Amino acid sequence: MTIEAFSYGSTNRLYVEYVKRSDPYAMTLDHFHSYYEVYYLISGSRVYFVKDRTYRVEQGDLVFIDKSVVHKTLQGAAPEHERMVVHFTDAWLNEQAGSDAALLLEPFRQESPVIRLPRSDLRSVDAVVRRLLGEIRLKPPGYGLVPSGAVTELLLSTARCLQENAHIGLDGDTSPKHAKIFEVVRYLNEHYDETVKLGEIASRFYISPYHLSRAFREVTGFTFSDYLQLTRVKEAQRQLMETDLPIAEIAVSCGFDNFSHFGKTFKKITRQSPRDYRKGARF
């Protein structure tokens, strides 16, 4: 059950969202997006799958999701948690930071997407977050002036902290089961354009199809098939935006052997047809 939720802005530029939940929750959308995301866990614990591994996220941790990176949150030790999510685009960042934009993106360029700040830095960042959320929740006169400055301060504080502390990124889960699934994920990320079947992958990694299917869902939050299709659609989006290749050719290059299936899968994930996506991306 969602106990409290509120938001500010638009994903076209800058968007801030707060949610507090008490019941079990896992993201239902299998997604990636064309904007940057910052996730701040205010209380509770969560499991976060990012790109090719799973991280245990605790209170005060920051998660930095780069553009077009597949990710999903899952339940942690207990269902109760509250978090803030920030989305921002390159247009907002360049307008806000100018020549310092690259500095503010440093947290997104680290090997680990999960940052656990030293206590002194965390207190400062937490104060910024709570002030930001207080402004959005209460909406005092001029509150709309606060979000851009607060998000910029959060990014700058983290970037400076990373320059001073080389080892504040968290390692992913390293249990044998997780390590095996991460191998499979990395294989899918590299071979999505080939014919991929669950049974053949299970044989390649010396695990039964049943256990692979079950462990894959448990570790990543995705079904094997859903993750593969999502990875293929993500590459199709890139090619539609960056190349002039015919759509049918893009479908084949991304591992789809049926053009109709490609169109239906693409629209299911992106809510647009491939043709409409290409037009919108180039508008």
**Which among 235, 228, 222 is positioned nearest to 29, based on CA atoms?**
222
What pLDDT band is residue 27 in, cutting at 50, 70 and 90?
A: low
Superfamily of domain 2-164: Regulatory protein AraC (2.60.120.280)
**Confidence at 24, pLDDT banded by 50, 70, 90:** confident
Asked if residues 73 and 26 have their Cβ atoms less than 8 Å apart, the reply is: yes
Q: Which residues make beta-bridge pairs with 19? A: 5, 83
Antiparallel, parallel or unpaired: β 71-75 and 62-65: unpaired
Class of the CATH domain delimited by 176-281: mainly alpha
Query: According to the model, what pLDDT value does residue 150 have?
Result: 98
| DSSP E strand stretches across 103-250 | 114-115
Average pLDDT score over residue span 187-202: 95
Average pLDDT of span 196-202: 95
Structure token pair of residue 57: 């996220």
Q: Mean pLDDT throughout 267-280?
A: 90
pLDDT at 78 over 80: yes
Supply the pLDDT for residue 98: 95
Tens digits of residue pLDDT in 206-216: 999 999 999 99
Domain 176-281 in the same topology as domain 2-164 = no
Confidence of residue 283 (pLDDT cuts 50, 70, 90): low
26 has a pLDDT exceeding 90: no
Instruction: Say how far apart CA 222 and CA 231 lie, in whole Å.
Output: 12
* pTM: predicted TM-score of the whole model, two decimal places: 0.85
Give the pLDDT score at 29: 59
Q: Per-residue pLDDT averaged across 217-231, rounded?
A: 92
Domain boundaries, the chain: 2-164, 176-281
3-class DSSP state for residue 171? coil
Average pLDDT over residues 257-276: 92
